Chains A and B, each alone.
Chain A
Amino acid sequence: MIAHETRDQPDDSGTTRAAVPPQPTSERKALPPLRDDALIIIPVRNMVLFPGVVLPVSLGRERSVAAAQEAARNERPVGLLLQRNPDVAEPKPSDLHEMGTSAVILRYLTAPDGTHHVVCQGQQRFRVREFLDGYPFLAARVEFIEDRDVVNAEIEARVHQLKQRAIEAINLLPNAPSELAQAVQSITSASGLADLVASFMDLKPSEKQEVLETLDIRTRLDRVLWLLAYRIEVLRLSRDIGQQTRDAMEARQREYLLREQLKAIQKELGETDDKSAEIADLSKAIADAKMPQEVEQQARKELSRLERMPEVAAEYSMIRTYLDWLIALPWSVLSEEDIDIAEARHILDEDHYGLEKIKRRILEFLAIRKLNPNGKSPILCFVGPPGVGKTSLGQSIARATGRKFVRVSLGGVHDEAEIRGHRRTYIGSLPGNIIQAIRKAGTRNPVMMLDEIDKLGAGGFHGDPASALLEVLDPEQNNTFRDNYLGVPFDLSKTMFIATANMLDTIPGPLRDRMEVIQLTGYTEEEKVQIARRYLVRRQLEANGLSADQCEITDDALRAIIRDYTREAGVRNLEREIGAVFRHVAMRIAEGHTGKTVIGPEDLGRILGPRRFESELAMRTSVPGVATGLAWTPVGGDILFIEATRIPGNGRLTLTGHLGDVMKESAQIALSLIKSRIGDLGVPADFFEKHDIHVHVPAGAIPKDGPSAGIAMFVALASLISGRTVRSDVAMTGEISLRGLVLPVGGIKEKVVAAARAGITTVLLPSRNKKDLDDIPDEVRRGVHFIWIERVEEAVRAAIGEGVLKERVEPEQSLAPAE
């Protein structure tokens, strides 16, 4: 491709060069053949070879001579790797950088002094996978890295700039080869250009290595541009002023020089001609911006200051930035607002499932605006948990009203200036986030969503952000909103503000009074399935580049994700998990699987990992009266919740959840036992004369029969009556007798495994089941703490706590009267 030689001869022999050149030994053994993805490696000290570049390499070390000869003989490429430390004489793999360039040997030659050299042409970047043993030189299995040239405007602009600057630098070089400028000019590949320029620049090897390792082409171009700009500066300064004066030169002078250069470069790039053209452009832009009179006057005043100022003045760029802001703001740009209520209804329905009441409220709001466009409408505030659609409703409203949508995040804003901007006298000051959002919207009447208004920081030292926000929202004042940076009023009265919050309580009172609150409470399981079916699945399929023909997810799987992998009021995690499932499918397709993939509930464990039950445990058992039991099922064990609640009545028991007869009896036994022990629970003796008990075992695919839930029922009742919650990490199984004994049950192994899977850390088991411990797999046994119980009191103590149920000294006395 491009051949040239660098001025300073790279030389890997370093300091050992002057000594007697190494001579290859003459005995040659047959070597194990090298695979195609293996390279003979030559470590080098002070040079970095780039693809496409030709460089001579002096071979100072015996191993390098052997390596180069082996390659030359067999016409194999070599790989050059830079040593991390040039002083290491015999580098080991760990002394080398991992990325280098493969090269073909164009020539092998020996100099009259007997030293060996090769002329190499760089081919391709590679990364070392592993070094190979058994060769008299270094060899490694490598991964070649394709250089992918992207072409877009950003890259092209950089390529253009880099060419200009590289040629400038070449002209400054004292003895640059003449073809170099030619080569730079004619190269078409962006990565090739970056590599070539980096190669001829006088850079430290470590800097070149860094460029070599920068694979992203845009970043690489930027890096080389940056390095080159610095070089040019150095070259210029040393040429124009001489090295000594450079050190003495004052900072101002330097800046002046740099600015002159910058101008020269800009001129060369055709970016600007001169200052008067700039002023003329600005003047025209001010006229085009159709500012209100007061603002235009201010702009013209600043413009004439700019005109009188030398471009090198620090203030120049400040005024320039300010003018840019004034020009960019949409002083008189309005989206045409045309509210068609039927169409709005249609858009809201299209974007959101359900939310009937909320949509109706929004439509009312829009209808009122339509009737009275200049009236003072209230500010809507959507309040609800994360992921229920607050932000996306805002977007829908924008769409339905034909306005632009912009978002201002208020979370953590605790300085007035973040809303209203900093005075221009500060270095680096900018407008506040309201004006920034307006600029982004590009119109004066967008829908502006004030997100997380409940997380607005309390005003402190720098003024209260809430009061600044009040001014923004107040229809009496916001037609002349004054941002500190702009210093001129901006009319926000046509902007439609919508706020969102997770909680109402933390919104500052005066703000809350201005807003009309709309509550979003969250979705039921069935609603979530519908939302997923209609919106999330399609969106995630698309996001992962899948079509409905390639992948499908069943409703049952969606339900399983909702139940077992998410625990939220909204649908954000649901969407994320669906995304994770599709990513997995997309991967498989990329790996060559064909045909349609149907995801059912049974696939989820493999893709998303074990079900995340822990949060459910904590949530379910966060109220008194709920205990976690263990059930045996034909397909393994499972956990089940026993929920007990009390209602006014006279000691009757209601059982729900389709329980089998034996389980019903367990509940009866638990109740009788607890009645007999009412005195020991520290509640009034007439508790059961005033209350009925309702025990429910929530639905699930678990057969609900057998006596083993007895202890869990008893603990649930003890928890309910004592008002103390059951530990969420404890589960239990065991039959109970009327005398309070805990009797052994079956299926211990399955139950314990299920408990561990669900995140249970302590399992209460009947003492007489100890013999079953051996059946439990070791890794499960290690993660679970076992408590062996003989009596119900012990279970209560372990699952709820001390002092809930007084112990009976004599078990005989605990004999309870039958009901």
Chain B
Amino acid sequence: MDVYETDETLWILVALPGVAPDHVKIVVADGTLIVTGDRPLPAEARIGVIHRVEIPHGRFERRIRLPAGRFELDGHALANGCLMLSLRKLL
């Protein structure tokens, strides 16, 4: 997970390869950003035999303390296996 900050915006990049957008939930509470989600075993694993599973699957949860200040979730996009969040600073 990467965090960048510009004057107006806080950028947060979370690597979520193989996670469908509707399996991700984002919450901001008490100055903490919480990303929870779920990557089930891919359908192929369900019909076949597992030889290797190295990409994490199952439920996950990441929490990051945000820098001081108030933020508002501005936009999010899931691209190239990464979730990009932008939080606008409220002054």
A residues lining the B interface (CB < 8 Å): 23-26, 28, 69, 72-74, 106-110, 112, 114, 116, 119
Contacts and interface: CB of A to CB of B under 8 A. Distances in A.
A110 B51 contact: yes
Contact of A72 (B47, B50, B54, B56): B50
Nearest to A112: B54
A72 B59 contact: no
Contacts of B48: 26, 28
A129 B51 CA distance: 33
Contact of A73 (B45, B51, B57, B58): B45
Interface of B: 41, 45-54, 56-59
Nearest to B41: A72
B80 to A, nearest CB: 23
A108 B49 contact: no
B49 A106 contact: no
Contacts of A112: 54
Given A24-B50, A69-B49, A114-B52, 18 more contacts: A26-B48, A26-B49, A28-B48, A28-B49, A72-B45, A72-B50, A73-B41, A73-B45, A74-B46, A108-B41, A108-B50, A109-B53, A109-B54, A109-B56, A110-B50, A112-B54, A116-B50, A119-B58
A107 B45 contact: no
Contacts of A74: 46
B53 A25 contact: no
B58 A106 contact: yes
A760 to B, nearest CB: 72
Contact of B46 (A24, A73, A110, A119): A73
Contacts of A110: 50-54
A107 B49 contact: no
B48 to A, nearest CB: 7
B50 A25 contact: no
Contacts of B57: 107-108
Contacts of A108: 41, 50, 53, 57
Contacts of B54: 109-110, 112
9 contacts: A69-B49, A69-B50, A72-B45, A73-B45, A108-B50, A108-B57, A109-B56, A110-B50, A110-B52
Contacts of B45: 72-73
A530 to B, nearest CB: 70
Nearest to B47: A73
Contacts of B56: 107, 109
A69 B50 CA distance: 7
A741 to B, nearest CB: 92
A74 B43 CA distance: 11
Contacts of B41: 72-73, 108
A114 B51 CA distance: 8
B7 to A, nearest CB: 36
Given A72-B41, A73-B41, A108-B41, A25 B58 contact: no
Contacts of A23: 51
A478 B56 CA distance: 83
A73 B45 CA distance: 7
Smallest CB-CB A-B distances: 8 pairs: A110-B52, A107-B58, A24-B49, A73-B46, A106-B58, A108-B53, A109-B53, A69-B50
A110 B56 CA distance: 10
Given A72-B41, A72-B45, A73-B46, A24 B51 contact: yes
Contacts of A72: 41, 45, 50
A69 B45 CA distance: 9
A119 B59 CA distance: 12
A114 B45 CA distance: 16
**Which of B47, B54, B58 has the most chain A CB atoms inside 10 A of its CB?**
B58
A107 B40 CA distance: 9
Nearest to B54: A110
A223 to B, nearest CB: 33
A4 to B, nearest CB: 15
Contacts of A116: 50
Nearest to B56: A107
A775 B41 CA distance: 74
Contacts of A119: 58
B52 to A, nearest CB: 4
Contacts of B50: 24, 69, 72, 108, 110, 116
B88 to A, nearest CB: 33
A108 B51 CA distance: 11
**Which of B46, B48, B49, B54 has the most chain A CB atoms inside 10 A of its CB?**
B49
Nearest to A108: B53
A232 B52 CA distance: 42
Nearest to B55: A109
A24 B49 CA distance: 7
A106 B53 contact: no
Contacts of A109: 53-54, 56
A73 B54 CA distance: 16
Contacts of A69: 49-50
A108 B55 CA distance: 10
A441 B51 CA distance: 74
B23 to A, nearest CB: 15
A109 B49 CA distance: 13
A244 B51 CA distance: 48
**Which of A25, A28, A69, A116 has the most chain B CB atoms inside 10 A of its CB?**
A69
A641 B51 CA distance: 85
Nearest to A26: B49
A119 B60 CA distance: 13
A108 B49 CA distance: 12
Nearest to A109: B53
A761 B48 CA distance: 72
Given A72-B45, A73-B46, A106 B52 contact: no
A110 B45 CA distance: 13
A110 B46 CA distance: 16
A181 B42 CA distance: 37
A331 to B, nearest CB: 62
A745 B48 CA distance: 83
Nearest to A25: B49
Nearest to A104: B58
**Which of B50, B54, B59 has the most chain A CB atoms inside 10 A of its CB?**
B50
A109 B45 CA distance: 12
